[in-house]
Amino acid sequence: MAVGGFTKLPGGTVVVALVLPHPVYAQLTVRVVVHAVNRQRALTRLRNLGFRGARLAGNAHPPTPDEVTAVLHHPDGLIWRDHEAAAAAPWHPISTLNRLAHPA
């Protein structure tokens, strides 16, 4: 089960943040943040990208205000970064997720 949570925005949309195994390199974990109309739509977007285990049970680790700001300012409304990265590490568009060099 993924670790994560959600935040409902004043306009009715939600921001969902999850820690998931990388869709190609299962030994890596990534923090994915998605903006969507509702939680189910957010999870569907992630599943369509290869995150088959994307499920949200509870709200233990909701997105931080910085994560919400980052995803709202991204045109795709879907960003990621390495789960082990420092808080100041940059967020990346989801299109770059599978461009990682193969880990050694």
- Residue of 31, 27, 39, 45 lying closest to 2 (CA atoms): 31
| Cβ proximity of 60 and 41 under 8 Å | no
**pLDDT tens digits for 27-74?**
888 899 999 999 999 999 988 888 877 888 878 889 999 999 999 999
pLDDT tier at 100, thresholds 50, 70, 90 = low
Residue 80 token pair:
């990621």
For the chain, the first-to-last Cα distance in angstroms comes to 26
Every domain of the chain and the residues it spans: 3-94
Instruction: Report how far residue 54's alpha carbon sits from residue 67's, in angstroms, rounded to the nearest whole number.
Output: 18
Read off the pLDDT of each residue in 84-95 and give the average, rounded to a whole number: 86
Question: What residue has token string 């789960």?
Answer: 83
| Cβ proximity of 16 and 6 under 8 Å | yes
| Cβ proximity of 88 and 31 under 8 Å | no
pLDDT of residue 77: 92
pLDDT of residue 87: 80
pTM of the predicted model as reported, rounded to 2 decimal places: 0.87
